[in-house]
Amino acid sequence: MKIIPLQYRMSEDEYFLFEEKAEAKHELINGNLYEMSGVSIFHNNLVLRLSMFVYSLLKGSEWQLTLENFKVKNSDGNFFYPDIAVCYPNVQKHYSEKPILIIEVLSDTTRKYELVDKFIQYQKLETLDYYLCVEQEQHVAFFYQKQEDGEWIAETFTKDDQQIQFPKISISLSLKNIYTP
């Protein structure tokens, strides 16, 4: 990830205007812009497959599904582009502050960032209960679920028939749903 340090703290409106004109997407974290890297066909296909599947499960519900060009804002005023987010209704024009589920597709260049740094930032989202990270080229999913006491538990899924449960949004999916075209 390329870091673009700023000389001053951008307002939200300045950030949105900058993003509209920029050739690449940038996350705004602690006053710095982080240029997002391009995606592979594996990444693209996983995001497409997952979003279509999750959308079909949520159809008719109040939940709002957003994709990788829509931002999430945490309590520190930082903005991120998750690959997929399921949010409470009434999202803002450019972002949501209320996701319940975030899904990220991992790559060699983003794995550490998404499993560590981004997850730390995402935990500041009061409404977030589920964080799912899926590998691109192997059938592996890392699932984090917030407990009633605010602590997070982690589980790794490696078998196609294992079900990943999201009880608060009344859906579940398996690795087969994620990886089978």
Whether 7 is covered by a domain: the verdict is: no
Which pLDDT score, from 0 to 100, does residue 2 have?
A: 67
Which pLDDT score, from 0 to 100, does residue 5 have?
A: 64
Which pLDDT score, from 0 to 100, does residue 73 have?
A: 96
Query: Rounded to an integer, what distance in angstroms lies between the CA atom of residue 56 and that of residue 77?
Result: 31
CA atoms within 13 A on the CB side of 146: 20
Residue ranges in the chain whose pLDDT is less than 50 = none
Residue 95, beta-bridge partner list: 71
Whether 14 is covered by a domain: the verdict is: no
Which pLDDT score, from 0 to 100, does residue 13 have?
A: 86
**Based on the structure, what is the number of domains in the chain?**
1
Query: Rounded to an integer, what distance in angstroms lies between the CA atom of residue 118 and that of residue 142?
Result: 14
Residue 108's domain spans which residues? 39-179
Whether 157 is covered by a domain: the verdict is: yes
The enclosing domain of 137 has a CATH number of: 3.90.1570.10
Whether 44 is covered by a domain: the verdict is: yes
What pLDDT digit, counting tens, does each position of 55-86 carry?
A: 999 999 999 999 988 999 999 999 999 999 99
Give the Å distances, CA to CA, from 175 to 19, 48, 154, 164. Answer: 34, 15, 16, 8
Give the Å distances, CA to CA, from 116 to 102, 121, 135, 142, 168. Answer: 14, 9, 15, 12, 24
**Cβ(26)–Cβ(4) below 8 Å:** yes
Whether 153 is covered by a domain: the verdict is: yes
Whether 19 is covered by a domain: the verdict is: no
Whether 10 is covered by a domain: the verdict is: no
Whether 112 is covered by a domain: the verdict is: yes
